[in-house]
Structure 1
C-alpha cells in the first residue's frame, strides 16, 4: 500500500518538473524570459476558461433570447450570435497559439498576435452588435495591461487606439440603428468622450508604470552586462598577469639552468684535458694513471651533477621519483670533494671536515648531492673576492646529524634570510642562478623530516645548517650476486644505453634478451617458452609506454617482477600498472652496476 508521504513526495516531484519545464524557454532577453514564464500560464488559463465560460452561458440561458437581444436591424437573426461565438473561438485559439509560440522562443510574436486578435474581434463584434451591453468588458483592460507590461509603451498606445476604434464602431452602429431604450445622453457619439476619458486614464497610469518598470529593468540589465564585462576583463587581466609571471619564471629558470649546465660541461671539459698528460714524455706512468682515475671519477661526479640539475626541474614540477637509501654522510662528502673543488675558483679554498665515525642518514643520494651543490654554489657566488668554504658534518643533539656549509663572503640581510626559501627569490644578477636552490634544498630536507637553519651577518659570511634524522646503520650498496644466472628481459628504445646495460648485466651473470620497443617485446613474448625472472622496461617509448607493455606481459606471466626505468614516471601518484606491487622504480640516469644490484635484489625478493 502506498503511503501518503510517498504520494506527496511524488506529487511534489511532479510539480517541480512541471515548473522546470515551464521555466525552460529559449528566450534570450532576461525581462522577456521572466514575462514569458507568466504568460504561458495566462494563455493556458484563458484558452481553457473562454470556451468553458461560453458553454456555461449557453447551458444556463435562453438561446432564442440570446439570438434576438441585439439592438439593430440584425435583431431576430442568428448573425450576432454566430459572430459572438466566432470571436470567442478566435480569441481562445489565439491564446493557445501564443502558448505554442512562447515554447518556440517567439515571446513578442505570441503577445502581438494575441492582442491583434483581441482588438480585431472587438471591432468586428461591436460593429455587428453595438456596445449597449459591453461597455464594461474587462478584456480591454487586460489587453492594455498585457501590452504595456509585456511589449512596452508603443504597444500600449496601439491597443488603446484599437479599443477606441472598437467603441467607435459600436457607437456608429448604435447611432445608425438606435436601440429601443431611453437615451440618457442626447447627440451623436455622446458616450465616446466618457469612454475615451476612462481608458486614457488607465493608459496614462500604465504608461508611466511601464516606463518606470522598463527603465528599472534596463538599468539592472545594463549594470549586469557591465559587471559581466568587468569580470571578463578582470579575468583576462589576471590570465595575462599569470602568463607574464609564468614567462618571467621560465626565463629565470632557463637562464639559471643554462648557467648550471655550463658549469657541469666546464667541469667535464676540465677533467677531460687530463688525457693530454699521456702525450707528455715521462718515465713513470703511475702518477698519470692516478690523475686519469681522479679525472674519470670527477667526470662521473659531474655527470651526476648534471643529472641533479635535471632533477631540480623535476622536483620543481613535482614529477620526480624519490629513491631513498641509507648512506654515510661523511663518506659522501669525501667523495664529493673533487666535484666541489672543481666547482670553486682558485681564489676560494675548500675544506671538508668530517669525523672518523660513520654518520648514516636515510635520504635520496642524488637529492643530497643536489642540495650540497646548490649550497656550495651559493657560497661561491657570495665570495667574489675569494675566501674559504667549509663543508662539515657532525652529530647533533639526540639522534640528528648536522651538515653545515660556511663561507666568509658578503652575507645576507635579515630580509633576504626570511625570503631565502621562496621559489625564484634571488639576490644574484640576471642569468646567474634560478632562485630555486635554497627552496629546493628546504623542500627536500623538510620531506625527509629535517630542518634548515640560516645564520648570516652582512659582511661576515653565511652558515647554512642542514639537520637530518640519524639512522641506525648503513646498508650495503651492492648485495651479493646470485649464484645462478638470471633470465632478464631488457626493453629500451635507446640503442647505446640498451647495449651498455645488456653488457653490464651479462658480465654480472644474467642471460639478457633485449628489445628496442614495445612491438619487439610483444613478438618476444609470443615466442617465449619461459617467463623472465626480472623484466626491465623503459617507461617512455615511442610506440608503447612501459605501463601498457607490462599490462600485456602480465596477461601471460602475471607474477613477473619488473623494474621501470625513466627520468620520471608519468602518473606516479596514480593507481594502475605503474604502482603494481611487483614493480620497482629506478629513475635515470644510473650507473650500470646500480641496475645490476637492483636486478639481483628484485630476483632475491621474488624468490623468497
Structure 2
C-alpha cells in the first residue's frame, strides 16, 4: 500500500506545481519550486527503499519529510492558498503514519492540525478587524481540523480492529497447533498400541496352533527316526540312500512347519502389498486346519484361476482369518463345518466369506460384536479385541465387514475389500520377498540343504 501512496504523491506533487505555474504564468515563489523538487525527490527515494524491502524506513522518511514540507508551506502561504486539494497533501501522510503505529498516527494528526491552525491565522492576519473574513477563515480551519480528526479516528479504530483480529488469529492458530500436536501424539500412540496388540494376538494364535503343530511335528520326527533306523539296518547303498532321502523330505516338511510358525509370530511393521487373495488363503490352509479338532470339517472354496487381487498386509490378513477360525472353533465345541471362500462380489469388490455351523449370535450380540472389549467368553478367556481389531484393519484398507448370524444357525462373516490389479511387478516382488525369507530361514538352520 505504501508504494502506491508514494507513486501517487510522487506524480501529483510536480503535476500540481506545473498546473499552478501555467495558471499564474510562471509567477510562483521560488521556495515553492524548491519545496516541490525536494519533496518529489524524497517521495521517489522512499519508493525505491520500499521496493527493496526497507518499508519501515521508507514510511518514517515519508511521514517526517512530508510534515517538514507542510511546516514550511502552511505558515508561509496560509490555508486558503493550499486550495481544496490540501486534503490530497494531508491524507497520504496519515496513511503512511498508520504503518508506524497509533502513536505516530495521532502525533502526525496533531502536527497537521497545528499547521492548519497556523495557516488559518496567516490568512486572518491581513483582515483581522473584518469580522466576516475572520469567521470564514475560522470556519474553514475548524472544518479542516475536524475532518482531519475524524479521518485519524476512523483510521485508528480500523488499526485497533486489525490488531485485535491478528491477535485473535494468532491465538486460534496457536490453539489449533496444540490440538494438531495432541492429535498427532494420540495417533502415534494408537499406532504403537495397535502394533503391540496385533503382535499379542499373533502370540495368542501361535499358542493355539502350537499344540496341533506339535502332534504333526512329532509325527514327522518319528518318520525321520524310522527312515534313519532303516538306513542303519541295511548294507545296501541304494536302500540307504532311499532311506536318507525319505528322512530329508520328512525333515524339510518339519522345518517348513516350524518356519511358518516363526514367520507368523514375527513383530514386523505393517506392509500393505497387492497379492492374490485366493493364493494367500490356499497357503494358509494347513494352519487353518490345525486350528480345528478332527470333529470339525474344514472346507476351502477357492478357484485358483480367478486371480482376485487385494491390497492388504499379508500377515494381518492371516491374523484376521485365523481369528475368525478360532471364534468358529469355540462356537462348535461338538463339531461342525467351517467354510472359507473367496469370490468376486461386484466389478470392483472381492468378498472373503468365513462361515460356520456353530451356536450363532442373537441380535444384541451381533450388534456389539465389533466393539472393543466386548466378549461373551468367561473372564480371563478373551479380551474382546479380536473382531474389533479385524474390523479396524479391514476398514483402514478401504473395506468393510458384514455379519449374518442367528441363534442355532451359525455365523457368517463377509470381508469386502477393493479389487486391485495384480501386475507382473507384484508377483516378482512377492517372489523376491519369499526368496529372502527362505534365505533367512536357511541361515537359522545350519546344515540344512546339505544332503544330495
Aligned equivalents of 2:280, 2:168: Cα separation in 1: 65
Partner in structure 1 of residue 81 of structure 2: 134
Q: Does 1:429 align with 2:382?
A: yes
Q: Does 1:158 align with 2:107?
A: yes
1:228-267 residue pairs with structure 2 within 5 A?
A: 228-264=173-209, 267=212
Q: Does 1:578 align with 2:408?
A: no
Aligned equivalents of 1:303, 1:132: Cα separation in 2: 101
Partner in structure 2 of residue 21 of structure 1: none
Partner in structure 1 of residue 32 of structure 2: 84
**1:380: Cα distance to partner?**
3.6
**1:85: Cα distance to partner?**
1.0
The answer to whether the Cα contact below 8 Å between 2:116 and 2:144 also exists between their aligned partners in 1 is no
Partner in structure 2 of residue 534 of structure 1: none
**1:164: Cα distance to partner?**
5.5
**1:124: Cα distance to partner?**
2.9
Q: Does 1:43 align with 2:6?
A: yes
**1:256: Cα distance to partner?**
0.8
1:277-308 CA distances to partner (integer Å, 9 max, x unpaired)? Answer: 69999xx98xxx99999897576456546656
Aligned equivalents of 1:326, 1:227: Cα separation in 2: 50
1:473-495 CA distances to partner (integer Å, 9 max, x unpaired)? Answer: xxxxxxxxxxxxxxxxxxxxxxx
Other structure's SS at 1:586 match:
helix
Aligned length: 394
The answer to whether the Cα contact below 8 Å between 1:267 and 1:343 also exists between their aligned partners in 2 is yes
2:273 to 297, 313, 319: 319
The answer to whether the Cα contact below 8 Å between 1:325 and 1:362 also exists between their aligned partners in 2 is no
Partner in structure 2 of residue 115 of structure 1: 63
The answer to whether the Cα contact below 8 Å between 2:224 and 2:251 also exists between their aligned partners in 1 is no
The answer to whether the Cα contact below 8 Å between 1:44 and 1:96 also exists between their aligned partners in 2 is yes
**Mind listing any 5+ residue stretches in structure 1 that lack a counterpart?**
1-35, 67-80, 395-401, 468-571, 593-608
The answer to whether the Cα contact below 8 Å between 2:353 and 2:414 also exists between their aligned partners in 1 is yes
**1:249: Cα distance to partner?**
1.8
Partner in structure 1 of residue 17 of structure 2: 54
Partner in structure 1 of residue 378 of structure 2: none
1:272-351 residue pairs with structure 2 within 5 A?
A: 272-273=217-218, 300-301=256-257, 303-304=259-260, 317-322=271-276, 324=278, 336=286, 342-343=290-291, 350-351=295-296
Aligned CA-pair RMSD: 5.8
Q: TM-score, normalised by structure 1?
A: 0.48
Higher relative contact order (CA 8 A, sep 6+): 2
**1:378: Cα distance to partner?**
1.8
2:325 to 376, 386, 390: 376
Going from structure 1 to structure 2, the CA distance change for 1:137 and 1:108 (only over 3 Å counts) comes to farther
**Mind listing any 5+ residue stretches in structure 2 that lack a counterpart?**
231-242, 309-313, 342-351, 376-380, 439-452
Q: Does 1:455 align with 2:394?
A: no
The answer to whether the Cα contact below 8 Å between 2:62 and 2:96 also exists between their aligned partners in 1 is no
2:142 to 197, 220, 223: 197
Q: TM-score, normalised by structure 2?
A: 0.61
